[in-house]
Amino acid sequence: MGKRDRAQEPKSWGPRNPQGPPPPPDAWPTPPQGPPPSDYQQGGTTPKPKKRRRIFLWLFLAVQILFLIWVITGATSGSGTPEGCRGLTGDDLELCEDASDVGTTIGVGLVIGLWAAVDIILGFTYLIYRLASRRA
């Protein structure tokens, strides 16, 4: 028979508790009261958490306001009779004003398309930034 075949008694490295019934619940020690100890506490003061800066939010809102102003000024610039239509009458005046309105509509549509593209780019940039700065 080798060493492995013999049953060994477990070894104890510290003092043994006296054998007997467990103590009643009234004899149990009371748990400590108050907040758990923190690694950040040194000298009784806790550091204040850093306030999150919302730079991206303010940048995004500024871009939205700029595009909104651009769309409003572009749409209002097409109102009234254009300079090139002055002096025309009848069908020529109507045709000139309609062409001006179509040009204003195309211009405002291009600005709105650019606005949407910039918002998509900003959204992906923010998503990539959040994923990169996420704590694992």
User: Would you state the pLDDT for residue 4?
Assistant: 59
**For residue range 52-82, what is the model confidence (pLDDT) as tens digits?**
778 888 999 999 999 999 999 999 987 777 7
pLDDT at 3: 59
- How confident is the model at residue 118, as a pLDDT? 96
The whole-number pLDDT of residue 2 equals 57
- Tell me how far apart the alpha carbons of residues 41 and 17 are, in angstroms, rounded to a whole number: 36
Q: Mean of the pLDDT values across residues 104-133? A: 93
Looking at the predicted structure, is the pLDDT value of residue 30 above 70?
A: yes
So what's the pLDDT on residue 108? Answer: 94
The larger pLDDT score, comparing residue 101 to residue 34, is at 101
Q: What are phi and psi of 83, to 5 degrees?
A: -60, -40
Prediction pTM value: 0.57
> For 66-118, what is the HEC assignment?
HHHHHHHHHHHHCCCCCHHHCCCCCHHHHHHHHHHHHHHHHHHHHHHHHHHHH
Sorted by sequence, the CB contacts under 8 Å of residue 63 that are 6+ apart come out as: 118, 119, 122
pLDDT, greater one: 112 or 92: 112
pLDDT of 115 above 60: yes
Q: Is the pLDDT score of 87 beyond 90? A: no
